Each structure stands twice: as C-alpha cells, then as structure tokens.
Amino acid sequence: MAFTLAINPWVYVGKFDGNWSGDFIEQEHLSIEEEAALSTEELEALHAKRNSFPDLPLVNYTSQYGLGCFEGAKAYPQKDGGMKVFRPEENAARMAKSMIGLGMPGVDEELCVKAMLGTVKRNDDLGFTVKYDPEWEKDNFLSASAIYIRPFSWAEPGIGVNLSKNPWVVVINTPVSAYFSGDNFNACTTDMVRATPKGTGWIKCDANYVIPTLAKTKAVQAGFMEAIFLDAIEKKYVEEGSSCNFFALLKDGTLVTPELGDTILPGITRKSIITLAKDRGIKVEERKLPLSEVLAEAKECFVSGTAAGITPITSLTHEGDKTVFGDGKPGETSMSLLKELKGIQYGVVEDRYGWMVSVD
C-alpha cells in the first residue's frame, strides 16, 4: 500500500473561532539517522506519538458521525534537487467547498496553502523528505515516491447529531509510494453504490470512502486491481473508481470522462488531464458515459487521482464477462499522458501551466 503512518514531525493545526488562525507544531522526533537506527517497535512507538493530537477531542461530530472532509496533495522531488507541490490552490479551494458543503465554515484558502507548503518545507529542512531518483524515469514514474500532504477537518466536541461550527483543520505529511503496483491493471464493476443524487458524492468527505473501501477490497480479493462504480439509479453509467475518476478513449479518438455532478468528485488530476489532452488536439467530452459504450467502443481506459496519478485499465469485467481493451496492455495515449503529467510533476518536462509551486 502506498500510504504509511510515518507522519513527518512538522504538522499544522488551524482553528475557526470566528476567524481562521493556526500554528506549525513540531512533533516529537529524532534525527533521520537516529530514527533509522531504531528497532521496528521503537520506530512505531515514535510514529504513534507523532500521530497524537491531545488537544483535539476524541468524541465529536467527526468521530461519531463522519462529519469531516479531507484533501490529498503531493510534493514532488524535482530533478534539480528542489521540492514542489502540484496545484495546492486547487486542493485548498476544494477543501473549503467540501467544508461548506458539510455545513461548516470553509477553511481560509490562503491559510490552507501556506500550511501545505509550510509543513513540507519544515520537514524537508529536517531531512524528512524524498530525494529524486533517476531510475523513476525508466517506467514513467509509475514506481516513483513523493511526499503526501493530508489536510483534514476535525469537529469540536459533540455527541448529538449536529453540525460543526468551530472546526479544526490539521495538515500532516507522510512519504508515499506508488498506489497501484505490479502489472495487474484489470478492473471489475461493483454492484455497490458509491454516491446517490442529492447526496455528498461531490464532496471529499470521510463517509464517501467507506463503501469504496469495501468494494475495492472485494475486487482485490477476487484478483482485480480496482472496482468501478455505476450510477445509483439506472446502474448503466460509469461513474468512478474506488478513489479515482474514470476516463475512456474511444475508437474514434474521443476521450470521455463522466460529467461533474453531485455524484462525481471534481478531481484535480482529472481537470489537469483534460487540459493536457485538449492541448494535444484530442477531443474531450464530459458527459454521461454508458457502460455499454465503454465495453463496445473503448480502446483504452484509465483512472486518475492524486494517489492513482494516471493508472491504465487493461480490462473491465462486468457480471462475469471480461472485456479487454486494445491489446491488453496499457494504452499508448494513456501512457503518453501519464509521462507528460508525471514529467511536469517531477520537473523533467516544462511546466508551461504554472501548476508546480515551490515550497521555498
């Protein structure tokens, strides 16, 4: 699994009390060399201390009712030795919208960006970072590592069903590796429902990840990489993967992704792929995407997200019937888009969009 609980020492804790304010906090740690010399048990105990926020209440609207949201961003080690974050202002804006969608004050976006960049910078200065490895270029960065940035909301104390009026926002960093690993790019549909119309599917909220986690676990146990969700009403339109947006490249060269609405998360990587594809002259359509069209007309498919990046899907199994796309290998366009996006993120391709923000 890509994620670890090896939380880096510097964190940020912000609070809303009529206005947003907060501070960077240095959690308990040793030097990089000293921590590397610890036994597994000692290191886990130290990580547990860094994962402790005693000023935040255990019993609250988040822990009791899932009334919370989070973000996922990455800081990428650059080929020139620096460290840059991919589109942090987009994460801050989505975080604010998610919080407002859950009936709480939206985080101050400027504060959120500063917290994201500031934690990465402070941890980098301590040596808690990831260094660029030229070997990553050999597989188009599919095996590359980065620093994951996780802002999340946390509600004030509460036991009755209620909204949060004075939430915290906490920002932590951890090292992260490839989310999907190996050469299994086979997916299956699931009959579970991720999101319903008039619900919270468009919000990156905690509760939205319960069913996807269950569905993906079942898919992996059955030998697949990923589970693909269909719409809740007609069960005929492709919507999302377990934690990622879905794209299909049709035989006529059109790239199609499900249109945004109240059941689709507005992915930042999704938005970026649409820009890259259009700039290549690829026709891009955001619309309802029937499963039947994917199975009959797609020559390539892939999923996208902060964790997934761009991950090819070489086959899709629906109700026991397997459809293989193209020649059963990651598609040329999928891999080319992946190479360009990752190249921008890791600093080997020109960032002509101004997406990468230095932590310095």
DSSP string, 271-333: HHHHHHHHHTT--EEEE-EEHHHHHHHEEEEEEEETTTEEEEE-EEEETTEEEE-TTSS--HH
pLDDT in tens, 98-146: 999 999 999 999 999 999 999 999 999 999 999 999 999 998 888 899 9
Q: What is the mean pLDDT of residues 268-273?
A: 98
Two tokens at 102?
């859950």
178 pLDDT exceeds 80?
no
Residue 101, pLDDT score: 98
Residue 1, pLDDT score: 43
Q: What share of the chain is helix, strand, coil (3-state, %, to 5)?
A: 30, 30, 40
Q: Please, which pLDDT band fits residue 272 given cuts at 50, 70 and 90?
A: very high
Residue 302, pLDDT score: 97
Quick one: angle between helices 332-346 and 268-279, nearest 10?
Answer: 110
Distance, in Å, from the CA atom of 196 to the CA atom of 281, rounded to the nearest integer, reads 34
Distance, in Å, from the CA atom of 302 to the CA atom of 248, rounded to the nearest integer, reads 7
Mean pLDDT lowest for which of 175-184, 202-211, 265-274?
175-184
76 pLDDT exceeds 90?
yes
Distance, in Å, from the CA atom of 115 to the CA atom of 131, rounded to the nearest integer, reads 21
221 pLDDT exceeds 70?
yes
Quick one: CA dihedral 125, 126, 129, 133, positive or negative?
Answer: positive
Distance, in Å, from the CA atom of 88 to the CA atom of 73, rounded to the nearest integer, reads 7
Q: What is the mean pLDDT of residues 60-67?
A: 96
SS3 228: strand
For residue 74, give the DSSP letter. E
Distance, in Å, from the CA atom of 304 to the CA atom of 245, rounded to the nearest integer, reads 5
Residue 193, pLDDT score: 97
pTM (2 decimals)? 0.95
Q: Please, which pLDDT band fits residue 177 given cuts at 50, 70 and 90?
A: confident
pLDDT in tens, 228-246: 999 999 999 999 999 899 9
Residue 49, pLDDT score: 96
Residue 205, pLDDT score: 96
Domains in the chain: ranges and CATH: 10-176 (3.30.470.10), 186-346 (3.20.10.10)
Residue 179, pLDDT score: 62
Residue 4, pLDDT score: 80
pLDDT in tens, 285-342: 999 999 999 999 999 999 999 987 899 999 999 999 999 999 999 999 999 999 999 9
Residue 48, pLDDT score: 95
Residue 7, pLDDT score: 96
Q: Which of 137, 188, 183, 175 is nearest to 338 (CA)?
A: 137
Residue 189, pLDDT score: 98
Question: To the nearest whole number, what is the mean pLDDT of the chain?
Answer: 96
SS3 132: coil
Residue 183, pLDDT score: 83
Q: Please, which pLDDT band fits residue 181 given cuts at 50, 70 and 90?
A: low
